[in-house]
Structure 1
Amino acid sequence: MAHTLKGKKKLLTRVRRIKGQTEALEKALENETGCSAILQQISAIRGAVNGLMVEVLNGHITDHLGNENTTIEQKKEDIEQITEILQSYLR
Structure 2
Amino acid sequence: MHTIKDKAKLLTRVRRIQGQTAALERQLDEEGDCTAVLQQIAAIRGAVNGLMAAIIEGHLTDHVVREPELEQRQQDLEAVLQVIKSYLK
TM range (shorter): over 0.9
Q: Which residue number corresponds to residue 64 of structure 1? A: 63
TM-score of the superposed pair, with normalisation by structure 1: 0.94
Q: How do 1:2-21 and structure 2 match up within 5 A?
A: 2-21=1-20
Structure possessing the higher relative contact order (Cα contacts under 8 Å, 6 or more residues apart): 1
Q: How do 1:12-91 and structure 2 match up within 5 A?
A: 12-69=11-68, 71-91=69-89
Structure 2 counterpart of 1:89, one-letter code:
Y
Offset from partner CA, 1:50-76 (integer Å, 9 cap, x none): 00001010000000111152x111111
- The count of corresponding residues between Structure 1 and Structure 2 is 89
RMSD: 0.8
TM-score of the superposed pair, with normalisation by structure 2: 0.96
Structure 2 counterpart of 1:86, one-letter code:
I
Alpha-carbon separation, structure 2, partners of 1:39 and 1:46: 11
SS at match of 2:24: helix
Unaligned runs of 5+ in 2: none
Unaligned runs of 5+ in 1: none
Alpha-carbon separation, structure 2, partners of 1:90 and 1:49: 12
